[in-house]
Chains A and B, each alone.
Chain A
């Protein structure tokens, strides 16, 4: 069978599981909440950056338009351009110096505008000359579509084979006569996207007609964005959620700003996670301390009680009661029940013991009653032995053994024939041998009873003598157990002071004298002295006192 776990393990497990469950729920809630907030924040951020962009763009356009209108009034440029085309119309050829003049003026103007390319476009919509860092991408003769209109200036996006450009244009006019267009262009390329990205702190994708022109995000995301027909503030691109916004007024180019909600949520989620980890650590420590304390509170009194019970069991001391622990009602109920049980057990044992004693006493009395001369002998020997034992400071438990052993010392006489016991005449040698068997016989009878194991030596050895001439074994001196020696002396004393069929009872003083005479040979010296001490000065003791003491009429 499996051993059940310890209480500490149980409380720890329950607490830890509870704390972990709470933390898990908190973590999920926080993560979702952070994500929601971040999504809203990112959409808001894009909206704000779009407003900023729109405002800046409006300002930029205004400035650009003003700048272009001013540049378009350059008289040398206009004169040279008009003269060039007028001469070509008139003569079929024109002065290439004029073209050089226009080119030179354009280059000068290009240096003063922030655009990447500045070009003069003729009335047929073809580039006449261009200047600026990206002039190479606007070769002369290239057609460039500036929508016809009544406005003297134009802002928008044009698509050339060499790329897509944001342009600001101003017409070159003589009164109502247009001779061309001055166009400033800025490439919608990676640089522009990067600049916009830096301004808006978001990713930028520029697409024209479904193809990506520039991007600051991964190609997969940009492709998904251009391909997606989702509407609204967020879209799923490349497996991630993005907040997306399309910047206005840049047709036919689509300029998107976008930020990854996942990426933006990462940092706050991480922060929340760290905080939660700290809380979790603290929580677990507190839970551990709490559950250990609780377990201790529960286990400690239980251990104490069970230890006490174990001690009681080991000592076979069932008379003691367990003190209530005062730690819990349940445990106190348990100890009270245990005490009741033990009280019941003790009462039952006492009853058993008294029944035993009664039976043994009855047995001894029955034995004594076989012979009128020995009536009360066993009781008297028992009383005398205990008195002597007390004098000799025999421990209490041994006194009890002594009391019972002395009571039973002659039990073996059951197996001795009445004729021998009651015989008034001296016994023959064979008869005496019969009588001498009674200690061995008694021991054999009592050996059947485990309860009387401790009393056996008294029964078996109460006729041994210190000089080794006793029976049945002829043990000497200290080889004979003290209890047996005590009973031997008490037996002899009572025998001498009792009447027999063949003689009268002798007075105690005579009996004392007899005992003292044979002390050291037949009787143990210490026991004889103890008897003398127990029976205060035999001569001084009045007869009735002794009679009362011994519980019988001394004859």
Chain B
């Protein structure tokens, strides 16, 4: 059984390869690099539910809030892409990872690692589905044909949520644990670069990409308003 972090590395690597592969244009491309930071730690543990979990482990703590960020070029042109397979596991009553970014046409599978039933469904316009309930060891998948944001929930465990972001271009990335990201092969010109966080929302910066030079974009995500 592969650990989620390793899986994520695999996925990221795949994406990187794909992005680096076919050049959309004959132009000399450049990369956009930078760091993402969050104003204050939002990982401070709070009581999340009046009910205790049926599975209690220290793994409840998320990797890093920064892993819940997707950085992408907002105004990128549509680009044909090779679909990939990605995985969001259901482990310890959590979706792991909580945030996944895939190109259009990719299939995401949802293996159940927990000794209990889970359900996977989405109400998002981009892809509405309900995979039904399935026990440990089973896995069901869904293909995402349209770009957009898909929120995924478990009907049984209402505290579980995950996000699948589907792009029709290759310029998107999930920062590493240090918050670093690298979008390579971005066509020159002025671009809107957005850093999305599942709770903090969008932060968009404008950047001018010049051929052969790496553009540096650093994000500081705002502190969310607490309800």
Contacts and interface: CB of A to CB of B under 8 A. Distances in A.
Contact of A86 (B47, B155, B198, B224): B198
A174 B123 contact: no
Nearest to B125: A95
Interface string A193-216: 000000000000000000000000
A148 B227 contact: yes
A91 B193 CA distance: 15
Nearest to B43: A176
Given A87-B149, A176-B48, A177-B198, A79 B227 contact: no
A123 B200 CA distance: 11
A82 B224 contact: no
Interface residues of A, number: 43
A337 B30 CA distance: 155
Contacts of B227: 121-125, 146, 148, 171, 178-181
Contact of B149 (A75, A78, A86): A86
Interface string B114-155: 000000011111000000000000000000000011010111
Most central of B44, B149, B154, B196 by chain A CB within 10 Å:
B149
Interface string A121-155: 11111000000000000000000001010111100
Interface string A51-79: 00000000000000110010001111011
Given A90-B149, A178-B226, A83 B122 contact: yes
Nearest to B121: A79
Interface string A83-102: 10011011100110010010
A148 B226 contact: yes
Interface residues of B, number: 40
Interface in B205-227: 224-227
A480 to B, nearest CB: 147
B108 to A, nearest CB: 16
A501 B45 CA distance: 178
A82 B148 contact: no
A82 B153 contact: yes
Interface in A279-338: none
B23 interface: no
B198 A176 contact: no
A82 B121 CA distance: 13
B163 to A, nearest CB: 7
Given A83-B123, A89-B202, A75 B50 contact: no
B158 interface: yes
Contacts of B224: 123
A174 B161 contact: yes
A231 interface: no
B199 interface: yes
B45 A176 contact: yes
A65 B50 CA distance: 10
B199 A124 contact: no
A175 interface: yes
B154 to A, nearest CB: 7
B153 A79 contact: yes
A80 interface: yes
A73 B161 CA distance: 13
B9 interface: no
A219 B163 CA distance: 58
A267 B35 CA distance: 82
B148 A175 contact: no
Nearest to A125: B227
B122 A73 contact: no
A75 B125 contact: no
Contacts of B161: 78-79, 82, 174-175, 177
A173 interface: yes
B49 interface: yes
Contacts of A75: 153-158
Contacts of B226: 123, 148, 178
A496 to B, nearest CB: 161
Given A74-B158, A95-B125, A146-B227, A83 B48 contact: no
A150 B123 CA distance: 29
Nearest to A180: B227
B217 to A, nearest CB: 19
B22 interface: no
Interface string A37-54: 000000000000000000
Interface string B4-20: 00000000000000000
Contacts of A152: 47-50
A83 B124 contact: yes
B194 to A, nearest CB: 9
A86 B196 CA distance: 10
Contacts of B3: none
Contact of A124 (B125, B160, B225): B225
Nearest to A79: B153
A175 B159 contact: yes
A77 to B, nearest CB: 9
Contacts of B124: 83, 86-87
A174 B163 CA distance: 12
A68 to B, nearest CB: 9
B77 interface: no
A183 to B, nearest CB: 11
Interface string B39-64: 00011111111110000000010100
B69 to A, nearest CB: 13
B10 to A, nearest CB: 25
A279 B199 CA distance: 84
Contacts of B156: 75
B201 interface: yes
Nearest to A98: B123
A87 B196 CA distance: 12
Contacts of A86: 124, 149, 151, 163, 198
Nearest to B60: A175
Interface in B151-200: 151, 153-161, 163, 196, 198-199
B106 interface: no
Contacts of B225: 123-124
Nearest to A83: B151
28 contacts: A65-B50, A66-B50, A69-B50, A69-B51, A73-B159, A74-B158, A79-B153, A79-B158, A79-B161, A82-B151, A82-B161, A83-B122, A83-B124, A86-B149, A86-B163, A89-B196, A101-B123, A121-B227, A123-B225, A123-B227, A148-B226, A150-B46, A150-B47, A152-B47, A173-B48, A176-B48, A177-B161, A179-B227
A-B pairs, top 10 by smallest CB distance, nearest first, are A75-B158, A69-B50, A90-B149, A79-B153, A123-B227, A174-B161, A83-B151, A89-B201, A73-B158, A83-B123
Interface of A: 65-66, 69, 73-76, 78-80, 82-83, 86-87, 89-91, 94-95, 98, 101, 121-125, 146, 148, 150-153, 170-171, 173-181
Given A65-B50, A89-B196, A148-B226, 12 more contacts: A69-B50, A73-B159, A75-B156, A79-B151, A79-B161, A82-B161, A87-B125, A95-B125, A122-B227, A146-B227, A177-B199, A178-B226
